[in-house]
Amino acid sequence: MSSTLKKKLIGNTIKVTWVSSGITPSAISLSIFNGSDTLVNSLSMTSSGNGHYYGLYTLVNTLGYYVAQTDATVASKPYKKRFAFKAISKETD
């Protein structure tokens, strides 16, 4: 199975989502790590209703690889979701 790394423009805001399976999480957060697995930022996610949560993060002006990670606690059990992306600058001709 192949996976394509998502590319995001620096300066843009990314939206990371998480959907509950019917039980409201007691805690849910979004963490952004750089390519060295160093924490860049951490924030609480916002409920948009019906078990949907989102976090907004504006990419800093640093090119490179990043990982967005959501951590949720549901019924006393931890859940984690991660995805990698590459911060790129706008190409000019």
The CATH number of whichever domain residue 16 belongs to comes to 2.60.40.10
In this prediction, residue 3 carries a pLDDT of: 61
* pLDDT digit string, tens, across residues 35-53: 999 999 999 999 998 889 9
Look at residue 34 and tell me if it is in a domain: yes
3 state SS of 20: coil
- Domain range for 50: 6-88
Look at residue 93 and tell me if it is in a domain: no
Q: Can you read off the two tokens belonging to residue 42?
A: 């951490």
In this prediction, residue 2 carries a pLDDT of: 47
Q: Residue 79: which residues within 8 A CB-CB, separation 6 or more?
A: 25, 70, 71, 72, 73
Look at residue 53 and tell me if it is in a domain: yes
Total count of domains within the chain: 1
- Spans in the chain with pLDDT lower than 50: 1-2
In this prediction, residue 91 carries a pLDDT of: 66
In this prediction, residue 1 carries a pLDDT of: 44
Look at residue 28 and tell me if it is in a domain: yes
